[in-house]
A and B are shown apart, each in its own frame.
Chain A
Amino acid sequence: MKHYNYEEIYLYLDGEMSPMERSLFEDHILVCEECAEKLQRAKALFQGIKLEEENPPVDIASLVMAKIDKKRKLLPVIYGIFILLIALLTVPVFFGLDRAIFFYYIIFDSLNRVYLVSKAGLSYLFSLKIPAWVFVGAGLMLFPVYFALRKIWRNT
């Protein structure tokens, strides 16, 4: 009588035998004490290895989804900047280098004006010597406005 070895018995317990092999094995076990004992030993080993899975210490799904949301919100901004840069760089191709330089100059000049006006505005503000608590108070008042706007934005 052909006996089964442990490798074959493991295949049976792992559900990796074909239906035909399974049926032959099950018939054999009924008449072979030696193989039936091997099967019991293999089952005991499998039972011994089995461990319960433990729960992760944190809710990983929430962390993953929060990261995905953050990424999705940032993506349009990144794409926007990228498209703008490409558009600016392709100006000379369509309008010639002279016009492109003039165009870049206008952009630079506008940004420079914004910077100078902001600087002057801030200098004027500091020259008024307004107490710090006024700024802090004004800053705090912006929070309800921000949350109200966010709520409106989310609802739309």
Chain B
Amino acid sequence: MDEKELALRAKNGDKEAFEMLVRRYQKGLYNYIYRLTGERELAVDFTQEAFLRAYTSMKKYNPSYHFSTWLWRIAHNLVVDHFRKGKLNTVSLQMGEEGEEVEYDVESNERGPFENQLNRERKRIIMQALEKLPPTLKELIILRHFNELSYQEISEVTGMPFHEVKSKLYRAREKLRALLEAYREAL
């Protein structure tokens, strides 16, 4: 069943359809919030909260928009509010300790130890480079490269005009390229 049909059924009070939507988007939404805040526990809480808010305002959902975009918009507002209230002092994307990282990295279990090590190293470098970006640019990179949203969808989630998404994504990538090249040279 496609997203639109599920969203329409959920809007009409079908709880099972809503659960299917939650199952479909929980991983992506969790990763979006986790990459933004850098805190797993907080990401779990906010992902739940975003789904609960979506459920309670399901009647207000406009089916002409993608359900996922609407959901990401709710999560975006939650994170922005949280930053505004100053509960997080910095927009940290700092990784946890090495051991902690392996614990949650389910896919890593399928690879050999050497590949795991390389993957962890790559992940660490990318996360460090992302950390150095201003929060707005970092969010754009996360939405485009991790959640694979289109420019239009990013514009709807962040409330940023389309042309600004385009130019800021360019700036973000140029900064990332410079940072990643600097890391590579340092290695």
Contacts and interface: CB of A to CB of B under 8 A. Distances in A.
A10 interface: yes
Interface stretch (A56-64, A128-136, A137-145): A56-64
For this complex, into which size category does the number of interface residues on chain B fall? 35 or more
Interface of B, helix, strand, loop or mixed by DSSP: helix
A48 interface: yes
Given A55-B27, A56-B26, A45 B177 contact: yes
A6 to B, nearest CB: 7
B52 A64 contact: yes
Interface in B94-133: 104-107, 122-123, 126
A33 interface: no
Interface stretch (A11-19, A90-98, A113-121): A11-19
Contacts of B66: none
B176 interface: yes
Interface of B: 15, 18-19, 22-23, 26-28, 30-31, 34, 40, 43-44, 47-48, 51-52, 55, 104-107, 122-123, 126, 141, 144-146, 150-151, 166-167, 169-170, 173-174, 176-177, 180
Contacts of B43: 56
B52 A60 contact: no
A53 B27 contact: yes
A-B pairs, 9 with minimum CB distance: A56-B30, A53-B31, A60-B26, A61-B22, A7-B170, A64-B51, A55-B106, A49-B145, A61-B23
A37 to B, nearest CB: 14
Contacts of A63: 48
B170 A10 contact: yes
A38 B34 CA distance: 32
For this complex, into which size category does the number of interface residues on chain A fall? 20 to 34
A46 B79 CA distance: 26
A48 B47 contact: no
Contacts of A154: none
Contacts of A60: 22, 26, 30, 44, 47-48, 51
Contacts of A14: 144, 150-151, 169
Contacts of B166: 7, 11, 16
